[in-house]
Amino acid sequence: MSRKARRITRSARAAGIPTSKIRRWKRNATREPLLSSASARVKLRARGGVSEAPDHAGSPDAAAVGKAPRFFAVDFFCGAGGTTRGLIDADGYVIAGIDKEARCAKTYVDNNPNKTLDEAEPLYLQYDIFPKSDVYPEGQQEDLGAKLAELIPQHRAKAKSAPLLFAICAPCQPFTTLARKELSDDRKAKRDRDSNLLSEAATFVERFKPELVLSENVAGIKDPRYGGIWQEFRDRLEALGYVTGSRLVCTSKFGVPQYRKRSILIAVRRDLVSPERLSDLIGTELIVPEADPDATIMTVQEAIGHLPPLTAGAMHETLPNHKTRSLSELNQKRLGAALPGESNLYLESTEHGDLSLDCHKRVNTRLSDRCFTDVYTRMRPNRPSPTITTRCHSISNGRFGHYDVKQVRGISLREAAALQSFPDDYVFYPKEMIEPVARMIGNAVPPKLAKYFAGYLIDCVKADADAAL
Question: What contacts 85, CB < 8 A, 6 or more positions away?
Answer: 111, 112, 422, 426, 447, 450, 451
172 classed as catalytic: yes
Cβ-contact 59, 24 below 8 angstroms: no
Cβ-contact 83, 108 below 8 angstroms: no
CB-based burial label for 141 (10 Å; 0-12, 13-18, 19+): middle
Q: Catalytic one among 78, 104, 169, 172?
A: 172
CB-based burial label for 207 (10 Å; 0-12, 13-18, 19+): exposed
Task: Compute the residue count for the chain.
Answer: 469
User: How many Cβ atoms sit within 10 Å of the Cβ of residue 152?
Assistant: 17
Question: Which helix or strand (DSSP H or E) is residue 443 part of?
Answer: helix 435-443
Phi, psi of 35 (to 5 degrees): -125, 155
Phi, psi of 44 (to 5 degrees): -100, 115
End-to-end CA distance of the chain: 41
Give the catalytic positions in this structure.
Answer: 172
